[in-house]
């Protein structure tokens, strides 16, 4: 059985947050390569270890404990696609902590460790922004289509997968994959950390099995510490999506406006400024919350909808997720 069939059978999806089917992405690159003439058959592989989402630490955990599996997953991709070169795109903290260990594992493989520029921000982890960074261009998302599988690094077909995805590829190839995923659990809990558990477990089961289900009134944010969806305690019977993080908030401890300002401050600091809806919209949202006694909630809602409909990239589109879900699922019921 070839690697694509193994990936399909395992139902692997990307673990960077989007959840795109891995076999579909790999097949798109193979198809793009097949349509090129011999002299043009260049492609690249990128392992994205930018991990800039707050409250998400799983990729760092994997790089620390399973570097051989990650690099082996990249090698499998390089061999399957007959790729020119691989890049391990590390955020500055991971570069400082893990680069020497990873260099030893890489050995003479055609894989280069690339340090994400310190000024790249959260958006520097978006796949096309990462490609721009490696090319030495302005670090901002590209207009899609074309997508990286057909036109990525230097306009060549490029595979961009998350650290956990390459780890899983290594397991799939060795027939050791057991349909698990990594979860980052943090916040107001007793047993914070990274856990490898079945991917179909509900949030409630995950919290109970890891001894993190609180005995006080709480809500959670699932998928990421900025862009994740906020859920109340009647909504925990679903899997954790996105980047697989679960942040626990003690209800009496976190005031609504303060929490909303915190999320907006993150998005405001990390907007690349390329598109007006995100650049201006997030600023205006944050500005509206300053007048705490007389907030124009109708305008606030309209701005959120505009961000969702017209932002250039995923960062702007993500802004409404925590704010809308928090207001609907928590504030409305408090």
Do 47 and 137 belong to one domain? Answer: yes
Q: What is the pLDDT of residue 332?
A: 82
Q: Chain-wide mean pLDDT for the chain?
A: 91
Which domain-ending residue is among 139, 173, 207?
173
> For the segment 229-283, what is each residue's pLDDT rounded down to a tens digit?
999 999 999 998 888 999 999 999 999 999 999 999 998 888 776 777 778 888 8
Q: Per the structure, how many domains does the chain have?
A: 3
- Helix %, strand %, coil % of the chain (to 5): 50, 15, 35
Dihedral (Cα; 200, 19, 228, 203), 10-degree rounding: 0
- 88 shares a domain with 36: yes
Among residues 115, 150, 173, which one ends one of the domains?
173
Strand locations in the chain (E): 44-49, 85-90, 111-115, 158-162, 180-187, 193-198, 218-222, 229-231, 245-250
Nearest to 305 by CA among 276, 267, 277, 272: 277
Taking phi first (over 0 means left), then psi (-120 to 50 degrees means alpha), and beta for anything else, what does residue 217 get?
beta
* 143 and 22 together in one domain: yes
Clarify whether residues 216 and 316 are in a common domain.
no
Answer whether 331's CB lies under 8 Å from 297's CB. Answer: no
Query: In this predicted structure, what is the pLDDT of residue 23?
Result: 92
Q: Is 137 helix (H, G, I), strand (E, B) or coil?
A: coil
Range of the domain at 280: 256-333
User: Are residues 14 and 50 both part of a single domain?
Assistant: yes
- For 30, other C-beta atoms within 10 Å of its C-beta total 17
Please indicate, yes or no, whether residues 283 and 150 belong to a single structural domain of this protein.
no
Give the CATH number, domain containing residue 310. Answer: 1.20.1440.230
pLDDT of residue 1: 58
Same-domain check for residues 270 and 221: no
Q: Is 145 in the same domain as 285? A: no
Cα distances (Å, whole numbers) of residue 239 to 67, 129, 231 = 27, 29, 12
Q: Are residues 169 and 36 in the same domain?
A: yes
* Confidence at residue 39, expressed as pLDDT on a 0 to 100 scale: 61
The Cα–Cα gap between 12 and 108 comes to 28
Residues lower than pLDDT 50 in the chain = none
283 and 190 belong to one structural domain: no
pLDDT at 301: 92
């Amino acid at each position: 059985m070839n690697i694509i069939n193994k990936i399909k059978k395992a139902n692997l999806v990307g673990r960077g947050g989007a959840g795109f089917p891995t076999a579909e992405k790999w097949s798109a690159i193979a198809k793009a390569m097949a349509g090129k003439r011999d002299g043009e058959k260049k492609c690249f592989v990128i392992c994205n270890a930018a991990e800039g989402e707050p409250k998400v630490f799983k990729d760092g955990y994997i790089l620390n404990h399973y570097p051989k599996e990650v690099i082996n997953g990249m090698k499998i991709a390089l061999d399957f696609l007959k790729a020119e070169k691989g890049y391990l795109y590390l955020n500055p903290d991971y570069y400082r902590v893990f680069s020497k260990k990873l260099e030893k594992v890489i050995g003479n493989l055609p894989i280069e460790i690339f340090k994400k520029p310190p000024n790249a921000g959260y958006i520097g982890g978006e796949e096309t922004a990462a490609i721009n960074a490696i090319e030495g261009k302005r670090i901002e998302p590209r207009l899609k289509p074309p997508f990286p599988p057909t036109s990525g690094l230097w306009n060549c077909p490029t595979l961009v997968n998350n650290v956990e995805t390459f780890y899983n590829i290594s397991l799939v190839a060795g027939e050791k994959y057991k349909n698990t995923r990594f979860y980052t659990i943090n916040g107001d809990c007793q047993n914070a950390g990274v856990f490898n558990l079945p991917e179909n477990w509900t949030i409630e089961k995950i919290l109970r099995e890891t001894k993190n289900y609180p005995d006080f009134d709480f809500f959670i944010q699932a998928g990421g510490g900025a862009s994740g969806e906020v859920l109340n305690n009647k909504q925990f019977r679903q899997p954790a999506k996105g980047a697989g993080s679960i942040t626990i908030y003690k209800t009496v401890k976190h005031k609504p406006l303060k929490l909303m300002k915190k999320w907006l401050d993150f998005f405001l600091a990390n907007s690349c400024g390329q598109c007006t809806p995100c650049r201006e919209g997030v600023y205006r949202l944050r500005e509206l919350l300053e007048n705490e006694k007389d907030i124009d909630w109708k305008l606030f809602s309209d701005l959120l909808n505009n961000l969702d409909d017209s932002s250039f990239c995923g960062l702007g589109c993500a802004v409404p997720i925590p704010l809308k879900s928090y207001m609907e699922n928590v504030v409305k019921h408090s």
